[in-house]
Amino acid sequence: MRTSTTPRQPRFLENLLFGTTFDQVPSLIPGVVLASVVVLVAAALAELTSNALGYDGLVSFILVAIVLGMIIRNTVGLRESFAPGVAFTLKKVLRLGIILLGIRLSILDVLEIGGFGIPIVVGAVLTGLLVATAATRWLGLSDRLGTLIAIGTAICGATAIVATAPGIRAKEQEVAYAVANITIFGIAAMFTYPFLGNIIFGGDVTQIGLFIGTSIHETAQVAGSGLIYDQSFDVTTSPSGADIAVIAKLVRNALMVVAIPAVTYVYARRLDHDQMGAAHRTELRKLFPVFILGFLAMAGIRSFGDAAVDSGGQAFGAFGVEAWTDLTRWIRTWAEYTLATAMAGVGLGTSISQLKGLGFKPFVVGISAALAVGVASIGLVSLFGPLISV
């Protein structure tokens, strides 16, 4: 029962749009404005640096935005008034950017990349789970911590960790350790994998996108890494590396519906079933990332619109060829800047001091799982990637 002093929980529409009640929306403004300013400054710095070096587009402004955000957070600090807005960019703004990104693809591209991506994703996920579990037992860490690191590395970073924690009754410190773990290795991969992938796969955009999407932990990190690759190597093809990486990551995200209950069940089998308690089980309907449907809807809109103008008609009875091209270009541009704002939020939300408490043993588990997933991804992408023709 809610008392007069208990904050009201957001209703469905409030939670869908803002993650908080409408009366709390003004508290989001400072953090969103800060992230937006970081993006603008990063774009200017990247252009100045590229021009000074004599190569247009040499430096990715996405990479600069993340680094600049991290510098701000870990030097002058982030005032409490900015925290809600920064968290908003990492959740709602990121998802909006991914939804808008769907306009860059046809639904057939999504289905082909996603379909061939399934065996790569499944193989990488199973590798992460098995290696993290084995390393946890070898080092004598708690099964709960090992389970959280495994699910975070293999599926969807912090989201998967938080969703799994109630089902295995993980302690708050174990959740914090696991999140810190995947944050460290996810950020390292986000910066290095675009360049490593380009070397390993010889500039093949499809295979590089699949590698990024199946090996990096968080959705935000995958999107950022894909954009860094596109900007660093001047990728103008469609689908781009970022498009392919996001599709592969969305396939991983969808696996939460299966993987998290399965992991929780396996963990429960090793304990007394009565200890788990129904109240601690995660509801399946809360695991499915709904923004995937938005991404698919935008791809569907693009497909129907293109089909109409290609046959000599108007997209949705209102847009001719030129108007439809301008509209899709406008949405693509906003998708990129929306994601850039979320990437600035990644930097602003990364506190190095909070990561220092990670012990040596969890670090070993994390790096073992991350490297194993990366190696498995390279092998599987090399095997299945050439089968995709987009």
Give the pLDDT band (50/70/90) at residue 2: low
Cα separation, 348 vs 81, in Å, equals 13
Number of domains making up the chain: 1
Residue 210 pLDDT class (50, 70, 90 cuts): very high
Report yes or no on 165 lying in a domain.
Answer: yes
Q: Which residues of 52-75 are buried (b: 16+ CB within 10 A; e: fewer)?
A: eeeeeebbbbbbbbbebbbebbbe
Q: Give the number of other CB atoms < 10 A from CB of residue 338.
A: 21
- The confidence band for 208, taking pLDDT boundaries of 50, 70 and 90, is very high
pLDDT above 70 as % of the chain: 89
Q: How far apart are CA 296 and CA 300, in angstroms?
A: 6
In this predicted model, which residue has the larger pLDDT, 35 or 149? 35
Of residues 147, 176, 118, the one with CA closest to residue 359: 176
- Nearest residue to 46 via CA among 364, 356, 340, 353: 340
SS3 100: helix
pLDDT at 315 over 70: yes
**Mean pLDDT score, 300-329:** 90
DSSP state for residue 20 in the 8-state scheme: S
What residues contact 320, with CB distance under 8 A and at least 6 apart?
A: 309, 314
Residue 340: name the closest of 110, 36, 103, 32 by CA.
Answer: 36
Q: Is 321 exposed, middle or buried (0-12, 13-18, 19+ CB in 10 A)?
A: middle
Distance CA 353, CA 76 (A): 13
319 phi and psi angles, rounded to 5 deg: -120, 120
Q: Which of 18-22, 186-190, 282-286, 348-352 has the lowest mean pLDDT?
A: 282-286
Hey, is 355 helix, strand or coil? helix
pTM: 0.84
Flag whether pLDDT at 271 surpasses 70: no
Q: What is the mean predicted confidence (pLDDT) over 132-140?
A: 86
Q: For residue 249, is it within any domain?
A: yes
For 365-383, the pLDDT digits (tens) are: 888 988 999 999 999 999 9
| Nearest to 135, CA basis, from 368, 358, 371 | 368
Question: Which of 161, 122, 171 is closest to 282 using CA atoms?
Answer: 161
- 54 vs 89, which has greater pLDDT? 89
User: CA 336 to CA 224: how far, in whole Å?
Assistant: 10
Q: What is the number of residues in the chain? A: 390
| pLDDT higher than 90, residue 209 | yes
Cβ 62 vs Cβ 231: under 8 Å? yes
pLDDT above 70 (res 213): yes
- Asked whether residue 277 carries a pLDDT value surpassing 50, the answer given is no
Q: Which residue in this structure is represented by tokens 């796969």?
A: 201
Range of the domain at 281: 97-387
Alpha-carbon Rg for the chain in angstroms: 21
Residue 6 lies in a domain: no
- Between CA 323 and CA 158 the distance in angstroms is 41
Flag whether 49 is in a domain: no
CB 242 within 8 A of CB 226: yes
